Amino acid sequence: MWSLIEKLVELLRDEDGEIVKITVMVLSFIILDKDTAIPIPIALQLAEGLLPLFDHNNSQVKQISILLFRTLLALPMGKKRKALETQVRHTLLPLFFHCHDENQRVAQASLETLLCVAEFLKRKDLDKLVKKKKLWMFTHSLLAEDRRRAAEYLHQALRYLRSPQEPLREAAVRFMGIAGRHLRRQQQELQLICTALEEMANDISLSLRSLALQTLHILREEATVRYPILENLEDRLRRAWKTGLHVSGLGRLCCWSSMVI
């Protein structure tokens, strides 16, 4: 049985989406079988193999992969818990973004799993925000608490700017604005954010182009002022996202009332 599970984990990397979907389903049945003990090393391999599937182009693969990952969190890991924590931490941002997924089943699975992840990591601050569905406060709290990993989170988030789903691209642009303030003293990362936002000026969505340019304008303005008054600019960024900001050449931007700051 262990050999079979290892072979199935390898199939998660197959290019055929249908094979991947069936493989995840079979693995789910095995994991849920209480009479089958999954060796911890294989469980860790499975956790690593599932993470890329959160962004699979098949919505059903995404959903069942996310739900299977949540099941893994309930397995007794003993001394290997720390190793699993590393994998779990890598899921925070993908799950956050897929809470905005156009497929409601994926979005719900992501929200439920994100809550389990916060509990697994013993992050009461994140747990509370997910329960209240204050997802934008979630990103603020994540970056504020894990400053050492802020650059890592940034690199994770960049790929969502290229998502075929507009809600995920919008979430990524907003995340860039938040990350920019947390990384304002790290010139290389800040430049990476500005470059990414500049590229969003060619997005197919007019509203996203406006939001990206608006965010870029504010971040650049922050970079030109002295640190003691940056807090006032942060307030401006929050107000701009809520009520719209006049940026030269753009006109009045639409109200983003769905975002909670």
> Tens digit of pLDDT for each residue in 91-122?
999 999 999 999 999 999 999 999 999 999 99
Using DSSP's 3-state secondary structure scheme, residue 123 falls into: coil
**What are the backbone angles phi and psi of residue 252, rounded to the nearest 5°?**
-80, 125
DSSP state of 1: -
Give residue-wise pLDDT tens across range 138-195: 998 988 877 778 888 999 999 999 999 999 999 999 999 999 888 877 888 889 999 9
Q: Beta partners for 247?
A: 251
Q: Which of 193, 187, 190, 152 is nearest to 172 (CA)?
A: 193
CATH no., domain 1-130: 1.25.10.10
Residue ranges, comma separated, of all CATH 1.25.10.10 domains in the chain are 1-130
